[in-house]
Amino acid sequence: MPELPDIVVYIEALRKRIKGVELQHIRIGSPFLLRTAVPPLSSIEGKKVLELRRLGKRICLGFDEDLWLVIHLMIAGRLHWYEDRMKASKARGLALFEFANGSLVMTEAGTQKRASLHLVQGSAGLENLDPGGLEVFEANLGQFTTALQARNHTLKRALTDPRIFSGIGNAYSDEILFEAQLSPFALTQKLSTEEIKRLFTAVKSCLTAWTERLRSETGDKFPEKVTAFRSEMATHGKYKEACPRCGSKIQRIRYASNETNYCPNCQTGGRLLADRALSQLLKKDWPRSPEELESLTREK
């Protein structure tokens, strides 16, 4: 799922191309994409884009008459920019937005269509779509601590809950926790003051570094390589690869369609976290350390 760094770079690229430009026509390719009926989508055709902003992991385009088109890409949604209208019209997308100077195409990979469009009126309409998570770059340590410890969740859940923190998802939460050297299963209300400071610093530095990296990679082009798996990442998607800090093998916890990656040496004191699926099968035989896991692997 595109997260804060990806969304920021998307918005910057869109701002260069469509701010002040008229949206001439919209074509919706999926009946499941548009989630609102009032105002009608046709009401922004012929209007100019006046403002662009981020709302959590959503991209918001502001038009005349305080109308806002809100794009939520979810996990597999992506945006593409075409200056050639013929190429844009041939693209198989969920939606096509034709501007005076080019076309924006929204696509979604896979069979589960979760991406969405909303057209809302004014700040009240935007507030209804806002999960309410804290914007970390607008918060001080005290505000961060209050949000973090309002409930006793695991760190992984707290960081990825859009009602607690804005814009952070599965990929960057792994990188943040690695940088802070904290376990994804650590409970928020049991963290020390020093650990909370480390986490607060890691959230800001990690998101800043990745935004700058993606901005540099994109340059003046439109971002086309938006992915949750990048070779420069320390832990996310790096199962069984060497930890860049200590050399231990990166481990993972799988649950539903997600997984958490972590370094047991750097983050959990050398202890393996129980994979829900496997630990239920193995129960007491679940290995407690990377060394035990390695010995089991060799025995097989």
The pLDDT, as a whole number, for residue 287 is 44
Decide which of 172 and 92 is more confident: 172
Exposed / middle / buried, residue 81 (Cβ in 10 Å: 0-12, 13-18, 19+): buried
> Can you give the residue ranges of every domain in the chain?
4-129, 136-299
- Unique residue bearing structure tokens 């507030």: 127
CATH superfamily of 4-129: MutM-like, N-terminal (3.20.190.10)
User: What are the structure tokens assigned to 5, written together?
Assistant: 């760094």
Amino acid at 212: E
pLDDT of the residue at 256: 66
Range name among 143-152, 194-203, 291-300 with the lowest pLDDT average: 291-300
19 burial (CB, 10 Å; 0-12 / 13-18 / 19+) is middle
Cα–Cα dist 44/58, whole Å: 18
Number of alpha carbons in the 13 Å side-chain half-sphere of residue 151:
9
Decide: helix, strand or coil at residue 231. coil
Helix/strand/coil for 297: helix
Smallest CA-to-CA distance from 184 within 93, 83, 253 is with 253
What is the rounded distance in angstroms from the CA atom of residue 256 to the CA atom of residue 190? 26
Report the pLDDT averaged over residues 275-296. 47
CATH architecture of 136-299: Orthogonal Bundle (1.10)
| Cβ count near 146 (within 10 Å) | 11
The single residue listed with the structure tokens 């390589």 is 225
pLDDT band at residue 278, thresholds of 50, 70 and 90?
Answer: very low
Gyration radius of the chain over CA positions: 21
CB 108 within 8 A of CB 76: yes
- Summarize the confidence of residues 185-204 as an average pLDDT: 97
Question: What is the C-alpha to C-alpha distance for residues 274 and 110, in angstroms, rounded to an integer?
Answer: 29
The CA angle 120-65-116, to the nearest 5 degrees, is 25
139 close to 128: Cβ distance less than 8 angstroms: no
Residue 261's DSSP bridge partners are 252
The DSSP-derived string for 235-256 is STT-TTSBPTTT-PBPEEEEET
Residue 296 has pLDDT above 70, yes or no: no
pLDDT band at 10 (very low <50, low <70, confident <90, very high): very high
Q: Which position has the token pair 């690869």?
A: 241
| pLDDT over 60 at 286, yes or no | no
Average pLDDT of the residues in 190-198? 98
d(CA 286, CA 273): 10
> Average pLDDT of 218-229?
93
pLDDT, tens digit (0-9, with 9 covering 90-100), for 59-75: 999 999 999 999 999 99
**Mean of the per-residue pLDDT values for the chain?**
91
Helices (H), the chain: 4-18, 85-90, 122-129, 141-148, 155-160, 170-180, 193-218, 264-267, 276-282, 290-299
Q: What is the pLDDT of residues 233-258, one digit of tens each?
A: 999 999 999 999 999 999 999 876 67
pTM (global) more than 0.85 = yes
Whether residue 282 is predicted with pLDDT greater than 70 in this model: the reply is no
pLDDT grade for 275, boundaries at 50, 70 and 90: low
Residue 92: what pLDDT? 81
pLDDT (average), residues 81-96: 90
pLDDT at 289: 47
pLDDT at 16: 97
Eight-state DSSP code of residue 48: E
Q: Which amino acid is at 292?
A: E
Local structure of 134: helix, strand or coil: strand
